[in-house]
Amino acid sequence: MSANGHKWLNDVQWDEQGLVPVIAQDFATGDVLMFAWMNRDALARTAESGEAVYWSRSRRRLWFKGEESGHVQRVREIRLDCDNDVILLKIEQVGGIACHTGRRSCFFQKLLSDGQWDTVDPVIKDPKEIYK
């Protein structure tokens, strides 16, 4: 995935903050693992390195997925939706954990018919062991 010239970045519809929403999907299973944001630099670096780089809105800096946890996302495909305003990364999740809570996916809460949120996916590894 060459980022040479970065002309392809101009096809992305960036929002007012210069960001685009990104969905990370397991390449093998199709499971949605997480949602994040990218700016131009993050998307260019992702394409160049083959590993997911996001924009952390809370830290106001590039966030190299796995920089603290070791749970890197190896990018197999980068896709752009029909409106050019959402990125889909098809990834291999190193360590099988995408969420900072130590779960496989960030989407581990399910709305029940009684209006309550139920935690339906287990913690694979205690975050205290991941983030030291």
Condensed to tens digits (0 to 9), the pLDDT of residues 26-45 reads 999 999 999 999 999 999 99
pLDDT digits (tens, 9 = 90+) for 53-75: 999 999 999 999 999 999 999 99
The full set of domain ranges for the chain reads 4-123
What's the Cα-to-Cα distance from 22 to each of 47, 70, 85, rounded to whole Å? 13, 20, 9
Strand partners, 25: 32, 90
Residue 104 in contact with residue 29, Cβ under 8 Å? no
pTM of the model as a whole: 0.92
Task: Determine the CATH number of domain 4-123.
Answer: 3.10.20.810
